[in-house]
Structures are given as structure tokens and as C-alpha cells.
Amino acid sequence: MNGKRGQVCPFILYPRQNIEDIHQCVLENYGRIKYELPFINALCVDIPEEKVQTIKTNRRVAMMAEDIQVSKLTMPTQSFRRASYQPSPNMVSKGKGVSIAVIDTGVAPHYDLIRPINRIRAFQDFVNGKRRPYDDDGHGTHVAGIALGNGYASGTKARQGTAPGADLVALKALDQDGNGNASNILAAMQWVYDNYKHYNIKVVNLSLGIHPAGESQIDPLTLGANELVHTGICVVAAAGNSGPKRETITSPGISPLVITVGSCDSHGHVPDFSSRGPTPVGQTKPDVVAPGVDIVSLSAQSPKGYISQSGTSMSAPYVAGLAACYCAEHPKAHPVEVKRTLLRSALPIKKTDPNTQGCGLL
């Protein structure tokens, strides 16, 4: 590839038939193939700016989507006054035997995840290519603790996540600032698709998002999330932190197949930051709300430490843990059944619009 020809632009390409059909087209136009995504029949590529139109009009290319930035969905903790902790429901299985894949900023080896036994079953780094678990931002570690921390470092169940017996598959797709490209998220999804049977991954948590570029059927992250659900994996996504304005649900939370989670505080109220529906195609979202204000969970800075964070990023793993517990107790349950069961168990919040609370509070 000749870097002097102009600015390089990242895209996600969808062929009319097979991804092999557009390999040569990309390479002939000085492009670079970053990832192959057979699970959604797409390529992640870098293309010189002056070659974009040439590739776009190629008869073998069906569609091009910009490889745009994805971000974690936390709020500054100083905007809230005191720390609280989400109550952990008494689930019989505790998620034992099931793995939750957390696509995020990575995970630190906190005692609540590695003692008395190491429950970090796998770690993949799509940012820096490192092999050992780490988290240079802290967001992913905090998220993982809400879903499956066991309270070991604190010596109390008060610090347990909703699925303290589940295993963790951590996929680092966001950088030290909590940002990344859609292509890295999709590459992590591809890894889950390829390995979910080996690790018994039943749930994927996505405490991240982007504002949708259009209707959900042409949104890259939504396409990826939908394919995982079709494969038999529950996908739980944060709703976003752009409320109280309507139509602010982020992708992939706009997908009708995804369990989209907004936030509530310790009083059962939905905070202003929690994104509201409907989606671009008019569907009611979020699906439910869960604790997301000043949530205490694992710190990446210390193997025994805890910190407080807020945002729908904290709400999603609460529900991901519940989904994992249900899957552990019902191994053959399809994601549609899991979602339906969780939504039916939600408690409606009085005088609150469905596009604010979904079916209610979990």
C-alpha cells in the first residue's frame, strides 16, 4: 500500500456474495485488509481516500459502512453524591458452568475473579496484542465485577456480582481511554462466534456503543449482535448515556434481538443520563433498567480494590449476570426465551414512559 497517495480511511465492506470476491478489489486499490469477518460476511479494511469511490462502485461490493469510533458508556463519578451497591438477587446456580464474554477495555486479575480459583478462562487483546490479562482503563474490570465478581477481596457477599459462579472471557477491544473502532468490536464478536462452544459462552456483555448510522439492518454492530443471537448467544448492551432526550439509544442496543439496559438509581428512579427510545425504526427501547448510579465494583488498580462508577455501562453487566444464571439453570434456553423471561420479571416503575424504563426494573 502506498501511504503517499493520500489519507487512509477505515471501512467495513459487505460483498454481494463472498468476502473472497472483494479481496482482490481491495488490494488492487492499495487497501489493507484489517479483519475478515465471515460470521457477518464482511471485511474490515483501510482504503486510500482517493480510492474510496472506486471500491464503492465496484460491482462486487454491496455496501460500505464507516468504521467509526465506539466508546465506553460511563459517567463521571463526581456528578453523583454517594456510593451504593446493587443488590445481588439470590440465584440458585450463581452462573456456574457458564461463561460471560465481556468485550471492553480488558480485565485486571482482581482477587474477586481469580481467587479461590481463576475464573478468567480466556483473554484476547485486539488493541495491543498482549497475551496476559490487563486493563489500562479500568472500565472492563469494573464491568466484569458487576456481572461475576465473587466478593473474595472484601470477604463479604455485599460485593458479589449477579453471577458470582460464572466464568469470564475477556476481550479487549477498547483502548486506555475507553475508545475503539467498530472493527475491533466486530473482530471480538467473530472470536466469540468461533469459540463460544469451547468456553460455553452463553452471554456477551457490551457496555459500549455508538450512535446509530441508520436503520438497524445496515448497522455493523447490530448485524454482529444479531448474528450472535441467531447462533444462540444472549447479547446484553448498554442503552447509552445521552438522555433524557428521546431517540438516543446507542448501537448495538437498537437491535430488537439484544437485551438493552438503561439505568436506575437506588430509589428506583431513572436518571436523566440514561438514554431513551424509541429506536430509528420506532421500536420501544430500552428493554429494562437496572442499577447504574454510583455502583461499587472492582478496581483495576489494586487486586483488592473497589471503586464507584455510574452509567448504563454498569447496568448492562447486572443483567448479563442474571442472563448467565438463567442459562446455567436452563442450558438449552434460546436467547429469545432468556430475554422474554427477564423482561417478564421486571418491575414496572410508576408514571414512567416505556421508552424510558422498558418493561421496568430488574
The model's pLDDT over 208-256, given as tens digits with 9 standing for 90+, comes to 999 876 554 578 999 999 999 999 999 999 999 999 999 999 999 999 9
Is 313 designated active site?
Answer: yes
pTM metric for this prediction: 0.94
- Inform me whether the pLDDT recorded for 123 exceeds 60: yes
Same domain, 88 and 163: yes
Same domain, 60 and 87: no
What band does 5 get if pLDDT is binned at 50, 70 and 90? low
Same domain, 138 and 263: yes
The answer to whether residue 362 sits within a structural domain is no
As to burial, measured by CB atoms within 10 angstroms (0-12 exposed, 13-18 middle, 19+ buried), residue 59 is exposed
pLDDT at 93: 81
Catalytic, out of 67, 104, 112, 294: 104
Domain with residue 40: its CATH number is 3.30.70.80
Task: Express each pLDDT in 26-52 by its tens digit.
Answer: 999 999 999 999 999 999 999 999 999
What is the rounded distance in angstroms from the CA atom of residue 211 to the CA atom of residue 218? 13
Same domain, 123 and 248: yes
Same domain, 50 and 109: no
Is 104 designated active site?
Answer: yes
Residues in a beta bridge with 260: 237
Lowest-pLDDT choice from 78-92, 175-189, 331-345: 78-92
Q: Which of 19, 50, 67 is the last residue of a domain?
A: 67
Same domain, 148 and 254: yes
The answer to whether residue 58 sits within a structural domain is yes
pLDDT at 245: 97
Kindly state the average pLDDT of the residues 118-146: 98
What is the rounded distance in angstroms from the CA atom of residue 150 to the CA atom of residue 164? 5
What band does 126 get if pLDDT is binned at 50, 70 and 90? very high
Catalytic, out of 139, 183, 242, 287: 139
Q: Which domain holds residue 8?
A: 3-67
Domain with residue 245: its CATH number is 3.40.50.200
Catalytic, out of 216, 242, 310, 313: 313
pLDDT at 75: 82
Q: How many contiguous H segments (helices) and E segments (strands) does the chain have?
A: 9, 16
Dihedral sign for Cα 181, 141, 130, 96, please.
Answer: negative
For the record, the C-alpha cell of 102 comes out as 465481556
Please give the share of the chain, as a percent, with pLDDT higher than 70: 93
Task: Express each pLDDT in 160-195 by its tens digit.
Answer: 999 999 999 999 999 999 999 999 999 999 999 999
Single-letter code of the amino acid located at 148: L
Same domain, 124 and 199: yes
Q: Which of 18, 41, 67 is the last residue of a domain?
A: 67
DSSP secondary structure string for all residues of 280-321? TT-----SEEEE-SSEEEE-SS-TT-EEEEBSHHHHHHHHHH
Same domain, 200 and 324: yes
The answer to whether residue 261 sits within a structural domain is yes
Q: Which of 67, 94, 113 is the last residue of a domain?
A: 67
How many domains are there within the chain? 2
Who's near 68: CB < 8 A, 6+ residues apart? 181, 182, 210, 213
Kindly state the average pLDDT of the residues 96-106: 99
Is 23 designated active site?
Answer: no
Same domain, 179 and 304: yes
The answer to whether residue 180 sits within a structural domain is yes
Same domain, 351 and 320: yes
What band does 94 get if pLDDT is binned at 50, 70 and 90? very high
